[in-house]
Amino acid sequence: MVHTNEGQVPKDGLAGLTQNLRYDLKSGFLVFLIALPLCLGISLACGYPAIAGIFTAIIGSMLTTFISNSQLTIKGPAAGLIVIAIGTVIDFGFTGGRDPAADFQAYRLALGVGVAAGCIQILFGLLRIGSLSDFFPLSAVHGMLASIGIIVILKQFPIALGGSSKGEPFELIAHIPSVIMHMNPYIAAIGFGSLVIMFCLPLIKHKHKIFQMIPAPMFVLFFAVPLGLYLGISHEQTYLYGGHEFKLGKAFLVNVPSNMFAAITHPDFSGLKTAIGWKWVIMFALIGSVETLLSAKAIDMIDPWKRKTNLNRDLLAVGIANTVCAFVGGLPMISEIVRSKSNIYNGARTRFADMYHGIFLLLSVGLVPFLLCHIPLAALAAMLVFVGFQLTAPREYINTYRIGAEQLLIFVSTVIGVLATDLVIGIAIGIGVNFLINVISGVPLRSLFKPYLDIKIRDNNTLTIMVRDSAVFSNWIPFKGKIEKLGLVQRNNVIVNMSKVKLVDHSVMEKLHELEREFEQNNVTLHVVGLEGHKKTSEHPASSRKLDRELMTRKHVTIIADSSLLDQMRKGFGSLGIAQFITVEPVRKLTETATTVDSLIRLEALLRTEKAEDLFEYLREQILPKHPETIVSVEDVEAVLPYKSKSTTGGHAGHA
């Protein structure tokens, strides 16, 4: 259960190590229970030895704890990098077990790529480009993660049934019926049972405390390992079922060496002499960095004490850890969002919980590796199918659509692009679609990458940033830099005026909300104004906003009528929902002989076009036939900001 932020912020450093020992140790152990099977499963899904993921989690947790200031993130291998890792080893000649020598060489070449990618991440941290993640539009990033989820499901589902997965995503989709028809019954029993546990356990977690304490992956192991022993999976044998013959053996179980140090493998850097090698270096460095930064920012938002991660320092820590991991045979690592959330829910207080989870992993592999060798691969595959489903669950598509139909288009374009090509081209397609939508929406080409800002000082500690042309994902980084410099660094309250902006896209709206919270935590304010004349693409608070002149244009209606009509006019206005207007009485009327004061009234209202048309219809039907001397005039005016006042039925200023 999540603890609250009551009381003082937990101490950091060595003082925090002792003060928060019992909280962090408990959480570290519970996260270890989740991480152990997932590290093994992710490694195998990547085409690496099972021990590689354990190396990563151990080394990553030990190093980053003392380099990064991220308090609650858990570092380790993640499903989000499976597609990149398996793509790397396949391009280097991975055969999926048919040629062990070729597979081992592909693994070593991939480690060389990992070292180079880690070094680039170190440079990212040193050059302070932790804002790198801010360039990518949010819907394209979520679409990339959803596509990774689909690929993970397609790759792991056959393994959960005792088969193998080969081919591109659309080929794997076509082969699903064949996989089901030819599944290995004993292995499939473990796989299907594990899937049921992973999907059903969250539905009953609230019913008993034991379901809250023990994570679902451990329940899967409690089910799968005994069942595997009962079915004799570890023995090389064949059996008949339904008239067909099926194999069993150690190939269906995890293979972890009895001496973990003997499994240490060093990289082969010859792959860096090829264009393919550098393609994957860039992929690891960019995608890994973006996922790490996004995860760290997401965890900061749910940190009970609202502590803020230094993203550049965190990226430096991940880069150093990735470099070291790759030197000894480990997978690439990131700040992993699911384990990090679990860390918070289990009551962790400081970054030492990450270290403890690594220590428990080290003890398990060092002391009881023989127990790990009884874990069926089908159980691990089922866990990854569930993880993949979480990345691409229907709610992701529904939530994206609620933000705006154009965001769903970007999301789906990215998903299809990744499935049809690869991650780089897929996310480039998503970004391209976003650019196209922005241009069609009226964004001037000159402002796609450069924000146009005018700074106006209001008083000693408040200033206004007038934004012109556009505020979109591609010009957000310099825009954000200016806001942070003027507000957070120079300690000013900032008003961002968007009244002259043609488009504010979803990514900028979402990130402005984040900045508002950050300003609040630093005891200054950030207010976004001037969006009254913008049309929202949906009712979502972070939906895109497009300047709509019709929303800014009002009809200024003036009616001069006999004063006896005042009560009737009031009732008529009320029936039309017009509650704000001005009445002036008496009215001076010029005649041919002199200026006289007649018993006349003047009513004025500022109305939207549709409301003005309703009023004209009322006047034509109810007033003008009996009182043709009534004068009605109208003119178009542009309302910059709505004037808010008390609703009135006459005698007070207002507008509708």
Q: What is the rounded CA–CA span in Å between residue 324 and residue 315?
A: 14
Structure tokens at 582: 């001005």
174/82 Cα distance (integer angstroms): 21
Q: How confident is the model at residue 424 (pLDDT cuts 50, 70, 90)?
A: confident
344 falls within a domain: yes
pLDDT digits (tens, 9 = 90+) for 153-201: 999 999 999 998 888 899 999 999 999 999 999 999 999 999 999 999 8
pLDDT in tens, 473-528: 999 999 999 999 999 999 999 999 998 899 999 999 999 998 998 899 889 999 99
Q: What does the pLDDT read at residue 205?
A: 66
pLDDT of residue 646: 35
Are both 405 and 285 inside the same structural domain?
no
70 in the same domain as 213:
yes
Of the residues 500, 524, 547, which one is the last residue of a structural domain?
547
Exposed/middle/buried for residue 496 (C-beta within 10 Å: 0-12, 13-18, 19+): buried
Q: What is the mean pLDDT of residues 41-46?
A: 95
The 8-class DSSP code of residue 256 comes to -
Give CA–CA dist 167/146, Å, rounded: 19
Among 439, 466, 490, residue at a domain's last position: 439
Please give the pLDDT value at position 655. 32
Give the pair of three-digit tokens for residue 97: 């077990």
Q: Flag whether pLDDT at 550 surpasses 80.
A: no
**Whether residue 211 has pLDDT greater than 90:** no
- Give buried/exposed letters for 180-215 (b at 16+ CB in 10 A, else e): eeebbebbbbbbebbbebbeebeeebeeeeebeebb
Q: Are residues 226 and 141 in the same domain?
A: yes
**Over the stretch 427-459, which tens digit does the pLDDT of each residue have?**
999 999 999 999 999 999 999 999 999 998 877
**1 — pLDDT class (breaks 50, 70, 90):** very low
Q: What is the pLDDT of residue 654?
A: 33
Instruction: Determine which helix (DSSP H) or strand (DSSP E) holds 637, and give its type and residue range.
Output: strand 631-638
What is the CATH number for 626?
3.30.70.120
pLDDT digits (tens, 9 = 90+) for 93-105: 999 888 999 999 9
Residues 525 and 514: their CA atoms lie apart, in Å, by 12
For residue 219, count other CB atoms closer than 10 A to its CB.
17
Q: Give the CATH number, domain containing residue 470.
A: 3.30.750.24
- Over range 199-212, report the average pLDDT: 76
Q: Report CA 252 to chain centroid distance, whole Å.
A: 35
- The pLDDT tens digits for 359-399 are 999 999 988 888 999 999 999 999 999 999 999 999 999 99
Residue 427, helix vs strand vs coil:
helix
What CA–CA distance (Å, rounded) separates 433 from 417?
Answer: 11
- The most distant pair of C-alpha atoms in the chain lies apart, rounded to whole Å, by 119
My answer on whether 540 and 422 are in the same domain is no
Both 114 and 144 in one domain: the answer is yes
- CA 165 to CA 465: how far, in whole Å? 54
- % of the chain residues with pLDDT over 90: 66
Residue 92: which residues within 8 A CB-CB, separation 6 or more? 105, 106, 109, 110, 271, 276
Torsion over CA: 80, 130, 28, 60 (sign): positive
Q: Are residues 152 and 265 in the same domain?
A: yes
390 and 513 assigned to the same domain: no
pLDDT at 559: 87
Are 640 and 647 spatial neighbours (Cβ–Cβ below 8 Å)? no
- DSSP 8-state class, residue 2: P
Domain that holds residue 497: 445-547
Containing 520, the helix (H) or strand (E) segment is helix 506-521
CA-to-CA separations, 278 to 120, 269, 285, 425, 430, in angstroms, rounded: 11, 11, 10, 15, 23
Structural contact between residues 382 and 42, judged by C-beta atoms closer than 8 angstroms = no
- Per the domain annotation, does 643 fall within a domain? no
Q: How confident is the model at residue 609, as a pLDDT?
A: 77
Same domain? 138 vs 163: yes
Encode pLDDT of 232-264 as tens digits: 999 999 999 988 999 999 999 999 998 888 899
Rounded Cα gap, residues 31 and 22, in angstroms: 14
Burial state string for 123-151 with b = 16 or more CB within 10 A and e = fewer than 16? ebbeeebbbbbbbbbbbbbbbbbbbbbbb
Q: Is 4 domain-assigned?
A: no
pLDDT at 632 (0 to 100): 87
Burial of 422: CB neighbours in 10 Å, binned 0-12, 13-18, 19+: middle
Average pLDDT over residues 22-45: 94
Instruction: Count other C-beta atoms under 10 Å from residue 443's C-beta.
Output: 23
| Number of neighbouring beta carbons within 10 Å of residue 595 | 8
Rounded to an integer, what distance in angstroms lies between the CA atom of residue 485 and that of residue 475? 16
- Pair 178, 281 in one domain: yes
Cβ atoms 426, 419 nearer than 8 A = yes
State yes or no: pLDDT of 292 exceeds 80. Answer: yes
Cα 74–Cα 80–Cα 82 angle in degrees, nearest 5: 115
- Return d(Cα 486, Cα 180) in angstroms, integer: 60
The pLDDT value recorded for residue 640 is 56
Q: Are residues 137 and 253 in the same domain?
A: yes
- Torsion angles phi and psi, residue 30, rounded to 5: -65, -35
Residue 419 sits in the same domain as residue 451: no
- Decide which of 654 and 550 is more confident: 550
Angstrom distance (rounded) from CA 298 to CA 514: 10
Domain endpoint, select from 396, 425, 455: 396
- In sequence order, what DSSP letters do the residues of 298-349 get, joined into one string? HHHHH-TT-----HHHHHHHHHHHHHHHHHHTPPP-EEEHHHHHHHHHTT--
Identify whether the C-beta of residue 174 lies closer than 8 Å to the C-beta of residue 439.
no
Average pLDDT of 51-72?
Answer: 94
Mean pLDDT (the chain, rounded): 89
Name the more confident of 613 and 467. 467
DSSP codes joined into one string, 460-502: TTEEEEEEEEEE-GGGHHHHHHHHHIIIIITT-EEEEEEEEEE
Q: In what order do the strands lie in the sheet with 553-562?
A: 582-584, 600-607, 553-562, 631-638
pTM of the model as a whole:
0.82
Predicted confidence (pLDDT) at residue 603 exceeds the cutoff of 70:
yes
Task: Look at residues 451, 452, 490 and name the one whose alpha carbon lies nearest to residue 474.
Answer: 451
Q: At what angle do helices 100-126 and 311-328 cross, to 10 degrees?
A: 160
* Virtual torsion, Cα 461, 467, 472, 477, nearest 10 deg: -40
Q: Is 577 left (phi over 0), alpha (psi -120 to 50) or beta?
A: left
- The answer to whether residue 412 sits within a structural domain is yes
In a domain, 309, yes or no: yes
Q: How far apart are the C-alpha atoms of 201 and 249, rounded to whole Å?
A: 29
Which three-class secondary structure state does DSSP give residue 3? coil
User: How far is Cα 199 from Cα 205, in angstroms, rounded to an integer?
Assistant: 11
Q: Tell me how many domains the chain contains.
A: 4
Q: Tell me whether residue 11 is in a domain.
A: no
φ and ψ of 35, to 5 deg = -70, -35
Query: What pLDDT shows up at residue 592?
Result: 53
pLDDT, greater one: 628 or 319? 319
Q: How far, in Å, CA of 627 to CA of 335, rounded? A: 75
pLDDT tens per residue across span 574-593: 888 887 778 776 655 555 55
- Alpha carbon distance 645, 548 (integer Å): 24
In a domain, 513, yes or no: yes
Q: Is residue 647, in this structure, part of any structural domain at all?
A: no
Length of the chain: 656
Residue 326: CB atoms within 10 Å? 30
SS (HEC) of 88-145: HHHHCCCCCCCCHHHHHHHHHHHHHHHHHHHHHHHHHHHCCCHHHHHHCCHHHHHHHH
Q: Are residues 224 and 101 in the same domain?
A: yes
Would the pLDDT of 644 be above 50? Answer: no
